[in-house]
Amino acid sequence: MAVRIKTPVDQELLCSLKAGDEVLISGTIYTARDAAHKRMMELIDSGRPLPFDIRGQIIYYVGPCPAPPGKVIGSAGPTTSGRMDAYTPKLIEMGLKGMIGKGARSREVVEAMKKYGAVYFGATGGAAALIASCIKKAEVIAFEDLGAEAIRRLEVEDMPCIVIIDTRGNDLYITGRARYERKGQE
């Protein structure tokens, strides 16, 4: 049974999650890819505020397709998360509590997640249309010139994800692979 998560996220709930748990996320989340992350770091480095209050929030690594007629957004599949790894520890330190993407994360990101209590959620690549159906509202809030990579505020309802890395640093990519390899040796 999936765990329901509302944003901004509750720290106690985050700490109860385990790698492999299925979740349904509802509420406000933000989009940002590498170009937007680079600009956010420039803002931080110059002492200026970010375009949104990052504390308790979730960032979805996505560059959605344009919305077709009658739709809120186009296909919205996850981007490879490792592209944001250079920027992520600082954002976690500032209060970011969740990230949604695909692929492995660096040791530095995992250490920041453990230290500050953040979670990495996986969204299924190839399910972009399903994910888009969970997005009820989308609004560009910063860096409009980046097009698909602009920061958007999304209102989501029951967005399906899986906990890939929990607040203790347990990583489904590692444990799942080990479980599979053990079964192959039996």
**pTM for the whole structure:** 0.93
- Phi and psi dihedrals of 150, rounded to 5? -60, 155
Q: What is the per-residue pLDDT for 181?
A: 64
Mean pLDDT by 10 residues, the chain (186 residues): 94 96 97 97 98 97 91 91 97 98 96 98 81 93 96 97 97 79 60
Indicate the class that CATH gives domain 3-185.
Answer: alpha beta
Every domain of the chain and the residues it spans: 3-185
Q: What is the per-residue pLDDT for 130?
A: 80
Containing 4, the helix (H) or strand (E) segment is strand 3-6
Secondary structure (DSSP) of 63-103: -PPPPPTT-S-S--PBPBGGGGTTTHHHHHHTT--EEEEBS
Q: What is the per-residue pLDDT for 184?
A: 56
Pure H helices in the chain? 11-16, 34-45, 88-93, 107-116, 128-133, 172-185
